[in-house]
Structures are given as structure tokens and as C-alpha cells.
Amino acid sequence: MGDILAYESEIFGLIKEYLRFCDFEETVKIFEKECKGKGKPIPKTIGNGLRDSKTLIIQKEFLTSFEDGDEKVFFNLWEEHIPEHIRDKDPQSQKLEFYLHIHFAIFPLKTTLGALDRSDLDERIAEFKHYLETRGAAMSQTTEFLPYYALPFVPNPVAHPSFKELFKDSWIPELRKRLEQFLSLILKASNAPKLLTLFKETGSGNKEYVHQLQQQLLDAERKAATYMKRYNKMQADYHNLIGVTAELVDSLEATVTGKMITPEYLQSVCVRLFSNQMRQSVAQSIDFTRPGTASSMLRASIAPPKSKDVPLLPSLDYEKLKKDLMYGNDRLKALLLQALRWRLTRSYPGEQRDAVLQGYISNDLLQCNSSNQRSVLQLLNSKSEIVRQYMARLINAIASLAEGRIYLSQNPVLLRVLENTLKNGEKDYLMRENVLGALQKLSLRRAAQTAMIQDGIVMWLVNVLEDTDSLSDYTLEYSVALLMNLCLRTAGIKKCAQHAKHVLKVLSDLLGHENYEIRPYVNGALYSILAIPSIREEAKAMGMEEILRCFCKEGNAEMNRQIEFIIKQLNSAEVYDDGLESDDEDEDDYDENAMESDLDKAEVLQPQPRELSGEALLNSEYFGNSWYCLIFRD
């Protein structure tokens, strides 16, 4: 009874606080009146006014950081005051958080009056992209949010029809209102009375916490056991080392008195030293009678691996090279082209490869900057099939690097020659594949895109892709990738619109192709061309949505998300705006590492003719003395 009396006042205070939290004001009055009549004192509790003022302060901090675009402060408050189970489980909370991330990502675009701070915008877009790849990844299953996964990759979101809602004047006030309503509800719940907190702590939440602590304890015990084993091993090695050291000191003292140390004794000591680092049989087989052998073995056992230095390759006589490429016999031309390609593809990525490419560019190896009618580029039209193939492979390899693409793009004649070779090279399929690969990489350059579209490459690709059974995997993948690149441009989409039914038929057939590597490119091309209303209508007439839905059942989450994007574009009512395309867009903004890896494809695309193997090159009299630096052995 004494314990009850000791805590009675505090318990009454908890009851009153809970009743007031639940707005039982009449009940509180009766409860206070009855306690007063029985002489039971009720301690003063934190009033609603103080609690409400604290809530208002927190809410004001939220709204201030929202209006100032201070993403870091806002989401620090978000993590601090919004309970974790609500952030991770409540759908409304997750939706609001998604739109808040969009708000902070595009904040400079909506609020900047003067010059746009590009670095600030890029940083915000990068932060939004990181969110999409982490916490926001789960929202990709919701159709409402699918278009916004493309936001980080759109150069000018303000002009893009998919994001026009974000840039309406009413969007920020509406989002602010939703945020206020959410905070009012959540912050009130977070200021729960102490009685409710005590109940939760003794409920399932407490059990989960105890289970978590027990799991952490087991992990700590396992780690402790592992560290103890390591400690015991180190201690044993230490004792062994002390013992060996003591014996060696005794032996040194013995040598002072003239006693010799035998090779057998030295071998037994080394066996003990190496017992944990190498097999004893190996230690016993080493000749320790040679001075320095034991000490060398000891030092080698703990020496860190040396980093490999990559030297720069010796320079070449480019004037002689270009002269022989133009006037030499076909065998010599083929040998030189192969050696030049190997010099680039077999160099180490980084400084060595950059130096090789810069050597080609600065010396204008392919004479892209030359106005002479006769140039190295004419080897693409050589009478020799091997010379044509090797020239195409060299161009393909150079186009795999950004600086190489810039260099090749300087000569508009080269692009025309490559296009003609692509269209007329049915018989020489190996050369055609390399030319196709080079054109696909050059299509990352805006000027090259424009030229290819004007020269009818879009419909040529569509016609080629109509019969995929006759195409190699390389031709198929690079043809679809090139088509997608050209369809990203307004002019390319308009070319497709002229033959909408045919283009849609080919692309829908490619969706079901067994080569899954082409799916992202097909999806990208479809999404782009469906921006035009006339193509959307044609697609609806042929039941494109039903066709797309069939491919959603295969269980690939990434492909499903892409298809949902396409379906949303298909059902869009937006009118295509030709002015969306900007001629000021940066060129060649692609992952250089991914492109550089294609050098391997350029190297193994086709079998090497036996008479032009690396060994044959080394035996050639032409590559004697200083010229051998061109060649790399297989």
C-alpha cells in the first residue's frame, strides 16, 4: 500500500495527461474534481500550450528550409522528427518525400531570377539521382512516379512536356499545403503522452529491441572469438620469434669463441621461421649454403607488391607511315593498319593509351584535316578486301574514344564514305560491321547525327532490322543502338513519322527478339518516337499497349519500368513541341569507360587471317630496328 501511495500522485498525472491528449476535457474536469474531493493531489504536467508551441517551432523550421530550398537542413529535420516506421512504411509519407526531393532538385530552375548557378543545379540533380537509386527505387513500381525517373537525364526539364506540372505556379503552394497537413498530424502524434510511451516500451517494440540486442551480442561474440584466434596466433608467432632470436644470439656468441654454424642448423632455424608462411618441404629444399639466401627469403615474405610502371611507347615516323599507307603495296598497307590498331587497342588504358591516340591526332594520321584529294581515308575504297577491312577496324577503334570521335568528326567526307560503305557493303560483311560500329559511336556527336538523319540512315536501319535472321549479333545490337540515337532528335522522329506503321511494326517485333541486349535500345527508340501524336495514334490502332503488356509478364523489374514509361507516353495527350530540342546541348556526354571497353570488341570482331598474324609481322623485314615498336605479340 505504501508503494502505491508513493507513486499515486505521478500516476494520476499520467492519467490526466493522457485524457487531455485525447481531448477528453469533460472527463478531465470530473477527474480533477473527484481527486480534489478525496484529497488526492495531481501534479502539474506539461500543458498543451507548451507542447503545441514546441510543435509550431519544429513545423516552422521545416517550412523555412522548404521555402529556402535548403535540402540538407530539411531532410535532417525529416529524419529527426518523422518516426522511422512512418518514413519507411507509410505510403503517404513516401509519396510526399518523393515530391519533396523533386522540389529541392528543381528549386534553382523555379526560383532563380538572375543567372542560373549550374554547379548548384548539377549537385541537386546528382542528389536526386542518388535518391532514386536508393530510397526512391521502390517508388518506381508506381505509375505516378515513373516519368520522374528520367528527370536527371533531361537537359532542359522546364521545356519537357512530361514535367510541365512541376513548373506551374501552383505546384509549390500545393506541395507546401500537403507538407503542413502532414507535419501537423505527425508532430502531434510524436508528442505522445508518457503513459502511451510506457505502454509501447513494454509491448512488442520492446521485444524487438531486446531481440536486436541479443543478435548484436551474438555478432560481437563471434567477432571476439575470431579476434582471439588471431591474437593467439600472433602470440605464438611472437614466442617462436623470441625463441629463434635467442638461439641466433647464442650462435653469434659461439662464433666469437670460434665455433662454426652449420648449414643444417641454419636450415632448421629457417624452417621454424617459415612454418606459417610456406610449406616446410619448400623451406627444406632451399640451398642455404649460399650467403644471403635466408635473409632474402625473410624480406621477400613481407615485402609489399610493387606497382607496375607503364612506360610510354616510342614515337613513330608518321610522315613515312602516311606515305607508305598511300603508296605502298596492299600487303604493306594491311600490315601497317593492323599494327597501328594493335598499338591503340593493346596499350594500357590511361596515360599510355591517351599518348598513343594523341600521337595519331596531332600527326593527323588519317589526314582528316587534309584538303588533298588523295588521302589515307581512301583506303576504305581499296581494291583489296583485307585493306578495306583493316582500315574500317582502325576507324572503329579510334571512334571508341571521345577524343577520337572529335578527330574523325572534323572530316565530313569521312562520314559520307562510311555511310555509302554501310549501304553498299552487303558482300563484305566484316567491313560493314566495323563501319556500323564506327557510325554508332560517331552518332554520339550532334553534327554526325544531323548528317546521318539527312542522308536517310534512319529508314535504312529500319529496313535492315526487318530481317533480323540474316544479321549477326554485332550488327543487330549496333543497328538498334544507332537507330535509338538518331530517334532522340526531332528530325529523326519526323523521319519515323513518315513511315509510322512500318517503324512501329519493326520495333514491336524487336521487343520479342531472343537477344535481350537490344531491349533498352528498342525501348528508348519507342519512347522517343511516341512523343509525336500521329505515331501514338498509329500505335494505338495496332494495339501497341497490349503488345507492351505482354512483355511486362516476364519478371524483369528494370524492363517493366521502361515499358511502363512507354505506355504512359503512348497514352499521353501532349502535343509535340519542335522547340524542345536545343542546338546548344553538350555533345558526347557519355561514359567514356563504357565506350573505351568497346576497343576489345573492335579487336575480336573477326578472325585474323593467318598470313597477317602478329608473328608474321614480327618476321617481316620491314619492321626491323626502330620500326618493331609498332608491333605487339599475340
Residue 291 DSSP one-character state: T
CA of residue 386 relative to chain centroid, distance: 39
Q: Which residue has the higher pLDDT, 611 or 354?
A: 354
pLDDT tens track for 34-79: 888 887 777 765 445 445 567 788 888 999 999 999 999 999 999 9
Tens of pLDDT, residues 575-607: 766 655 544 444 554 444 445 555 544 443 333
Residue 114 DSSP code: S
DSSP 366: T
**Residue 631 pLDDT > 70:** no
Mean pLDDT for 407-430 is 83
Which pLDDT value is given to residue 149?
84
Instruction: Give the per-residue pLDDT at 45.
Output: 56
Q: Is the pLDDT of residue 151 over 90?
A: no
pLDDT digits (tens, 9 = 90+) for 67-121: 999 999 999 999 988 888 888 888 889 999 999 999 999 998 887 766 778 888 8
Cell of 583: 542546338
Say whether pLDDT at 497 is over 50. yes
Query: What pLDDT band is residue 214 in, cutting at 50, 70 and 90?
Result: confident
Sign of CA dihedral 441, 442, 445, 450: negative
Name the percent of the chain lying above pLDDT 90: 21
Does residue 150 surpass a pLDDT of 70?
yes
Nearest to 564 by CA among 141, 151, 223: 141
The C-alpha atoms of residue 288 and residue 292 are separated, in whole angstroms, by 8
Q: Let me know the angle formed at the C-alpha of 213 by 209 and 214, rounded to the nearest 5 degrees.
A: 115
Quick check: 24 pLDDT over 60? yes
Note the pTM of the prediction, 2 decimals. 0.49
| Span of 100-114, 363-377, 544-558, 619-633 with lowest mean pLDDT | 619-633
Minimum mean pLDDT range among 193-202, 235-244, 255-264: 193-202
| pLDDT beyond 80 at 608 | no
Sorting pLDDT into bands at 50, 70 and 90, what band is 305?
Answer: low
Cβ pair 356, 343 in contact under 8 A: yes
Residue whose C-alpha is closest to residue 482's, from 451, 511, 515: 451
Q: What is the largest CA-CA distance in the chain?
A: 119
pLDDT of residue 5: 57
**Distance (Å, whole) CA 287 – CA 284:** 8
Confidence of residue 210 (pLDDT cuts 50, 70, 90): confident
| Cell representation of residue 327 | 603508296
Read off the pLDDT of each residue in 314-343 and give the average, rounded to a whole number. Answer: 89
Distance CA 522, CA 14 (A): 65
Distance CA 176, CA 174 (A): 5
Q: What is the mean pLDDT of residues 551-571?
A: 79
Instruction: Measure the CA–CA gap between 11 and 449, rounded to whole angstroms.
Output: 78
The closest alpha carbon to 415, from 370, 362, 452, belongs to 452
The three cell numbers of residue 353 are 593509351
In this predicted structure, what is the pLDDT of residue 584?
41
d(CA 512, CA 504): 13
pLDDT of residue 605: 38
Q: What is the pLDDT of residue 295?
A: 62
Please report the pLDDT score of residue 628 as a whole number: 29
Q: How far is Cα 581 from Cα 112, in angstroms, rounded to an integer?
A: 22
Q: Please determine, for residue 306, whether its predicted confidence score (pLDDT) is greater than 60.
A: no
What is the model's pLDDT at position 302? 58
Task: Please tell me the predicted confidence (pLDDT) of residue 188.
Answer: 67
pLDDT given for residue 592 in this prediction: 46
Instruction: Determine the pLDDT at residue 618.
Output: 26
d(CA 114, CA 235): 68
Question: What is residue 589's predicted lDDT score, i.e. its pLDDT?
Answer: 45
pLDDT one-digit tens code per residue, 543-557 = 888 888 877 765 577
Confidence check: pLDDT of 199 > 90: no
**339 closest CA partner among 5, 580, 632:** 632
